[in-house]
Every structure is written in C-alpha cells, then in structure tokens.
Amino acid sequence: MRPASNCAVSELFVLSLLTFAISACAESRSRSNPMGVVVEAGRKWEKNDAQREKRDAHAEGATIYDGEELHLEEANYAVLELGKSRISLNPSPQGQGARAVLHQLASGFSIDLSSGTVRIATDERDRFVIIADGIKVEPLRIGPASAEITCVSNAELVLEL
C-alpha cells in the first residue's frame, strides 16, 4: 500500500444512481490517458413481479481513467467500453453492491474485483486480467475471450467462461 502522500483523491462524484470514487495516484499514468467510457448505467429492481429499470444519464458518457475505483450501490449496474472490450459491473447476488479498480496494461487492461460481478468480452487485440480475492484469471491464448466472475463471499467465487 502506498503512503497517503503519494496518492490524492482527485474527484468524488455522487450521482443519483451510481457512485464513482475516482482516485489517481501521482505515480500512475496521468489522467490525460483515458481508458474508456461508461456506455450504460442505472438501477434495476423488481416491483409487483415486473422488472423495472431506470437509466442514469449523468453517469453515461463518463470517462474512465487508469486506477479508477468503480463503486456501485445495491441494485445499480454499469457497462463500460474500453477499446473494443465491453465490461459489465453488477452487484453481488446478495445485493451488496460492487467495487472494482481498473488499470491499463500494455495491450489491454486489468480489473481488481473486490465485490459484485464482472463480465468481460474482448476482441482479438485486447488482453485482460481479472483479480478477485487474490485469484488471477486471464485468457491462455490471444483472441476473442469472455469471462464472468462473481464474488459470492470472502471465501467463494463463481467463474464462468
């Protein structure tokens, strides 16, 4: 863990449905290098046995930078585009929200998932690494790939390929 003096919280947005805690370390890549964009965000819930959804126009279009922490409250979701890759971040099945940190790699990205569910689909050029509860998941070959990991609890992960 870096000392607090090396990192500074650059911005804190509290959106109507989605909360992004954005931090940038002085030693990491500059904020002038965006990784991607939020293409969809909102809240889903059930009411009277019907699925309901409300989109969050304030979060959609937000730029994602290296080292950003994404924090979703209970029923919120976000879909991100990083190059030709698509990432969906959703709350855990227990409704605990989701938390992940994104980092840029030389030929792709990594995501450190501490709660919730992440789905990733990439094309042949982007590589990805998912780190969840100390376990590292990445494709064996170069090419299109997809994966989904859910942090069920501190001792349980579910992986779907």
Tens of pLDDT along 8-59?
322 222 232 333 333 333 334 445 578 999 998 888 766 666 666 777 777 8
More confident residue, 14 or 125: 125
Residue 112, both tokens = 């450190």
| Token couple for 38 | 């939020």
Q: Specify the pairing of strand 76-82 against strand 85-90.
A: antiparallel
d(CA 86, CA 119): 8
CB contact set of 54 (below 8 Å; sequence gap of 6+): 17, 42, 43
Alpha helices in 28-143 (DSSP H): none
pLDDT tens digits along 69-114: 998 887 788 999 998 899 999 988 777 889 999 999 888 899 999 9
Q: Does pTM top 0.85 for this prediction?
A: no
SS3 (DSSP) at 117: strand
| Residue 88: Cβ within 10 Å count | 16
Burial group, residue 83, by CB count within 10 angstroms (0-12, 13-18, 19+): middle
What's the CA angle centered on 132, arms 63 and 23, to 5 degrees?
35
